[in-house]
Amino acid sequence: MSAWWWVAIGFVAWLGAALAMGLLLSPFFRRCSQAREARDAQVANTLTGRQQPLGNELATLRHLRRPPRRDETAEETLRL
């Protein structure tokens, strides 16, 4: 057997080992990426919540206190 066959066999073995390691480690790296994205989103929401002006919060509170509108069409349908 020629020495060049050992180069080809070594190359195929190297590619096989790299593929196996990639398949074994990909779920770990995927979970790490998802955790980092979730943490970044949580930090971004915290920062934007602090940066909102007080006028928006007061408008939201006034909107929550407003009584619900009555729909006359829905009431007529219920009476029938």
Q: Residue 64: pLDDT above 90?
A: no
Domains of the chain: total: 1
Question: Cα separation of 61 and 57, whole Å?
Answer: 6
Phi, psi of 34, rounded to the nearest 5 degrees: -65, -40
Residue 27: domain span? 3-65
In tens, the pLDDT along 5-46 reads 999 999 999 999 999 999 999 999 999 999 998 888 888 776
Q: Report pTM.
A: 0.44
In a domain, 73, yes or no: no
In tens, the pLDDT along 47-63 reads 555 555 555 555 555 55
In a domain, 13, yes or no: yes
In a domain, 55, yes or no: yes
Q: What is the pLDDT of residue 44?
A: 76
In a domain, 80, yes or no: no
Q: What is the pLDDT of residue 30?
A: 92
Considering only CA atoms, which of 48, 49, 47, 29 is closest in space to residue 37? 29
